[in-house]
Amino acid sequence: MAVYLDGTEVEEADGLERAAELLAEAKLPVIAGLMTDIAGAQSALALAQKIGGVVDHAAGEGIARASRLMREGGMNPVSFGELRNRSDRVVVLGEAPLQADPDLLTKIFPEKTLPRPGDNPRELIAIGCKPKGVPSSAKSSKVDLGNQSLATGISMLAAAVAGRSFGDGESALGKSIATAAKKLKDSAFAVFVYSPLELDEPSLHVVLDMIRELCKDTRAGGYTVAAPGNGDGVNLCSVWTCGLPVRTSFAHGKPEHDAWRYSAERLVKSGEGDALVWVDALGGSDVKPPKGVPTILITNPGQAAPRAAKIVIEVGVPGEDHDAALYLPEISGIGMIAGKGKASGLPQVSDILDAIGAKLNAKEAA
Amino acid sequence: MLIRLKGGRVVDPVNNRDAVGDVFIDNGRIVEAPEGRQPDQTYDVSGKVVMAGAVDVHSHIGGSNVTLARQLMPELPYLAASGGVAIPPNPSSWGAYATGLRYAQMGYTTVIEPAVQPTHAIQTHLELAQIPMIDTGGLIILGNDDFALRQLHRKASKNEIEDYVAWTLQHARGIGLKVINAGGAEAFKFNARTFDLDDEVPEYGTTSRQIVQAMQHAVQDLGVPHPAHVHCNNLGIAGNIDTAIATIEASDGVPIHFAHIQFYSYGKEGEKGFSSAAPRLVEALKAHPNVTVDVGQPLFGQTVTISGDVLRQFDGRKAASPGKWALYQGEGNGTGVVPYKYKAKSFINAVQWAIGLEIFLLADSYWQVLFSTDHPNGALFTRYPEIFQLLMDKDERARWLDKLPEGVKEATNLAEIEREITLSDLAVMTRAAPAKLLGLTDRGHLSPGAVGDVAVYTDKPNKAEMFDRASYVFKDGKLIMRDGDVVEVTWGKVFQADPGFDSKIERRVKDFYGESYGIDPKVFGVPEDIANTEDRFQMVPCRT
């Protein structure tokens, strides 16, 4: 491993010492990115509690939105296994789901499924996306939104499902929406597939309301595309640790969650946050840390220049260099991925964060 | 280190002891009074009550279902506290860490999480690993999963079913097996909205009765100490005492445990068609000594209900308070979460409250009727001391009864019950009986050789105050709590039963998950080092 301070390689102990000083001096340290495994998330939460900091995730925007929806009105999440085995009508909303996993349709529509309700053939209903390679095990239909937005399409569909009138009912789009709504009402188990990152908040509410409407007579639910960078795993860990999702501050004793106030990007840009620990350890992400405050960057070798941050610390990739608990979309929960290169000798994210915590303890004791 | 607890009232029913005397702990274990050795530490506990650490057989403390509830209702501690419920108004109050501290504060040292989804067992164990102070264990849910249903459908051999149960226990590292509305969650996937003991699971043709019996016998024949832990059909429905009794009768003399039985002790007498059937239940228990139950006592106030009985939770959504709910539709049972507020002004809630207490107070044996609130479903575990007071103080019950809606006294028998349970009764239902039922022979009592888990309470007339904060709590012989404050944070063990199986089952399970889910089951297997501590898992020996 290597540790860099101001672009120059230093001894690990010196680098960690300097990192601890930086955090000890900060008024509001921010621990974010958090593209790491559960062990890394646990250590990040422990460190945030110790130093009165904030935790956020690189996908915090979408996670916070989904969290707010959940606590405002609840949700009907469907596991990937149930989606794959028992759904008859699958509505894909927007482009994000198929972008996130190009093989998604093959996985959703296998040749054979477990026993499933009803006798409808399985069918994909695409709204606001252009599916390619729909497996032969499924029928496929598309709602062409024309020049209307996805949000409008979702609202029209929800109105049609609830039996309410909506504008443009006589247009081609209106008719296409009405056909899709009828299919949903006649379904035995309809599942909506979407990404909370792509849909705005009102649209997400409309989707969830539509699911609840369908549930009155049949079975329905939503399958959300997993947040990148183990966002769902890190968020679950935050919830079981302190009762709140990411974008939570420990600065005032009790944990406090605020999706806007405790966004890492906002805190750094506004200057409210004055030190940043950014963890980008799952093989390198396109999401880069917000700039403007002294930063401790914890990442994999080759992912950042030594000068990319005040302090750069190299760690292994969870699930490659070491065994790791990560959110796995295929089980809609946390699973274990065995490491392949146990001889890499690289530390884990949790090792580094715990070591910084230990240095802070030593400082307090001194 | 030799510790002497000197001059307390030692309540240890396993040893027929309820008298003033000493208790000695050496190297983490209870020992006989040593001759010729001076204690390293002596605690004067005169005027105090000394009991074994308490054991909770059924409390939803961690895992993907509990965390789903935390996601739905982060405001629970605030809402509950604002209504007077004993829980700090802080979102982290029902996080993992606070859970361990509060349990220890009340003198609990072992707690069983009763609903581990096999595919999410890793999350449960990660969460349990962050709960300090207490030892834990998990019950693994089967009976609505397609592999088991397929086995029953094709009339697989007894051995093969046992192998699958044993594989599941090992893979998910459970101490026992849980069955929740057997077949009902699967039927819900086919849009059933009710499911009875002899209803057939669509496509699989097997009945709830057959599933329960298959699981019950598998656990028994495997020699797993904790019998099948069953959540019956028809939870919460007026007249469901018939279901409970039919399920008890179907148990055929083989050990079985029924969870939160209060929720199945409902008659349909009276003007409102809802009444106590506690006496019928108690009679059935007398006639079936193979059966144990925990009560699932409700208390008035805000809580949230968490259950793998998705069929029941879906119906329960109509009563959600606050008005929101989450239903996770997943492998096997899935989970339903519905916020709920038990109201003293509600006839139904008041009758439920009275029924729970009746079951406790009419019980013949506390080896058979165990303490629980089915946390958080009946009441938050933080409130156990309030229930202990109700059981030990008939005047307190009368005060409550007088405040309840008209007709509650007629619909229940509580007003006529004079019984006040003794400290020994309490020690059986909160210590000795659950430990025995779980096969944890080294706890629940203070015999020499038992683990040094000891709770010392200051005797007070107000039992709610007495049990709210133990004066001393020892875990494995270490003082961890004093007057409700942390002395030392310790991390416990997880109990696991591993009866073993024919390795052929591994291939079958692997093929099933590969074909149906596109995954290798090893991704949801719980590794031994999950908590990053040595000897995290402790085996509970199975009968051979």
Domain ranges of chain B: 54-445
pLDDT digit string, tens, across residues B31-65: 999 999 999 999 999 999 999 999 999 999 999 99
Give chain A positions within 8 Å (CB) of B382. Answer: none
Q: CA-CA distance, A116 to B203, in Å (whole number)? A: 8
A75 at interface of B, judged by CB pairs closer than 8 A: yes
A243·B92 Cβ contact <8 A: yes
Give chain A positions within 8 Å (CB) of B154. Answer: none
Minimal C-alpha gap between B335 and chain A (Å): 10
A353 contacts A36 by C-beta, under 8 angstroms: no
Q: CA-CA distance, A161 to B422, in Å (whole number)? A: 60
Please state the φ and ψ torsions of residue A105, each to the nearest 5 degrees: -65, -35
State both tokens at A359: 């240095």
pLDDT digit string, tens, across residues B325-348: 999 999 999 999 999 999 999 999
B517·A330 Cβ contact <8 A: yes
- Among the partner-chain residues B67, B517, B523, the one whose CB lies closest to the CB of A240 is B67
- Nearest C-alpha neighbor of B259 from the set B202, B203, B179, B327: B179
Minimal C-alpha gap between B85 and chain A (Å): 18
Domain boundary among A224, A249, A277: A224
Minimal C-alpha gap between A62 and chain B (Å): 15
- Among the partner-chain residues B70, B203, B326, the one whose CB lies closest to the CB of A74 is B326
Please state the φ and ψ torsions of residue A140, each to the nearest 5 degrees: -145, 135
Mutate one of B65, B71, B125, B530 to test the A interface: name it (highest A CB count within 10 A). Answer: B71
Mutate one of B131, B146, B311, B329 to test the A interface: name it (highest A CB count within 10 A). Answer: B329
Distance (Å) of CA B73 to CA A71, A232, A244, A323, B322:
6, 17, 9, 32, 9
* Among A residues 201-230, those touching chain B with beta carbons less than 8 Å apart: 215, 218-219, 221
Minimal C-alpha gap between B510 and chain A (Å): 14
pLDDT score of B393:
98
The pLDDT mean for chain A works out to 96
- Same structural domain, A78 and A216: yes
pLDDT digit string, tens, across residues B382-397: 999 999 999 999 999 9
Q: How confident is the model at residue B544 (pLDDT cuts 50, 70, 90)?
A: confident
Domain boundary among A224, A255, A274: A224
Question: Within its chain, how far is the Cα of A89 from the centroid?
Answer: 25
Q: Is the peptide bond before A290 cis (omega within 30 degrees of 0)?
A: no
A86·B532 Cβ contact <8 A: no
- Same structural domain, A47 and A72: no
- Same structural domain, A83 and A150: yes
Give chain A positions within 8 Å (CB) of B201. Answer: none
Minimal C-alpha gap between A248 and chain B (Å): 11
B126·A71 Cβ contact <8 A: no
* Among A residues 124-183, those touching chain B with beta carbons less than 8 Å apart: none
pLDDT digit string, tens, across residues B363-417: 999 999 999 999 999 999 999 999 999 999 999 999 999 999 999 999 999 999 9
What CATH number should be reported for the domain holding residue A287? 3.40.50.740
- Same structural domain, A91 and A112: yes
Domain boundary among A224, A243, A271: A224
Q: Percent of chain B having pLDDT more than 70? A: 100
What's the whole-number mean pLDDT along residues B97-110?
A: 98
What's the whole-number mean pLDDT along residues B251-263?
A: 97
- Among the partner-chain residues A74, A110, A115, the one whose CB lies closest to the CB of B203 is A115
Residue A344 has pLDDT above 90, yes or no: no
The pLDDT mean for chain B works out to 97
What CATH number should be reported for the domain holding residue A210? 3.40.228.10
Hey, how many other C-beta atoms are within 10 angstroms of the C-beta on A31?
A: 30
Distance (Å) of CA B181 to CA A261, B201, B203:
44, 11, 17
B73 at interface of A, judged by CB pairs closer than 8 A: yes
What is the pTM (predicted TM-score) of this model? 0.98
- Same structural domain, A331 and A198: no
pLDDT score of A342:
62
- Nearest C-alpha neighbor of A252 from the set B127, B92, B75: B92
Name the residue of chain A whose CA is nearest to B205's CA.
A115
- Same structural domain, A138 and A284: no
- Among the partner-chain residues A112, A117, A236, the one whose CB lies closest to the CB of B123 is A236
- Same structural domain, A209 and A291: no
A38 contacts A334 by C-beta, under 8 angstroms: yes
- Same structural domain, A70 and A217: yes
Hey, how many other C-beta atoms are within 10 angstroms of the C-beta on B498?
A: 18
* Among A residues 236-265, those touching chain B with beta carbons less than 8 Å apart: 236-237, 239-245, 254-255, 257
A79·B334 Cβ contact <8 A: yes
B532·A73 Cβ contact <8 A: no
- Same structural domain, A317 and A348: yes
B126·A325 Cβ contact <8 A: yes
Residue B153 has pLDDT above 80, yes or no: yes
Q: CA-CA distance, B73 to B57, in Å (whole number)? A: 25
What's the whole-number mean pLDDT along residues A256-275?
A: 98
Residue A163 has pLDDT above 90, yes or no: yes
Instruction: Assign residue A253 a region (left: φ > 0; alpha: ψ between -120 and 50; beta: otherwise).
Output: left
Minimal C-alpha gap between A178 and chain B (Å): 24
pLDDT score of B94:
94
Domain count, chain A: 2
- Same structural domain, A45 and A97: no
Range of the domain at A105: 65-224
- Same structural domain, A235 and A336: yes
What kind of architecture, by CATH, is found in domain B54-445? Answer: Alpha-Beta Barrel (3.20)
Give chain B positions within 8 Å (CB) of A219. Answer: 188-189, 191, 329
- Same structural domain, A152 and A250: no
* Among B residues 174-203, those touching chain A with beta carbons less than 8 Å apart: 188-191, 202-203
Question: Within its chain, how far is the Cα of A198 from the centroid?
Answer: 11
Residue A169 has pLDDT above 90, yes or no: no
B512 at interface of A, judged by CB pairs closer than 8 A: no
Name the residue of chain A whose CA is nearest to B519's CA.
A330
Question: Within its chain, how far is the Cα of B232 from the centroid?
Answer: 15
Residue B22 has pLDDT above 80, yes or no: yes
A333·B120 Cβ contact <8 A: yes
pLDDT digit string, tens, across residues A2-35: 999 999 999 999 999 999 999 999 999 999 999 9
Q: Can you name the residues that pair with B178 across neighbouring β-strands? A: B141, B229
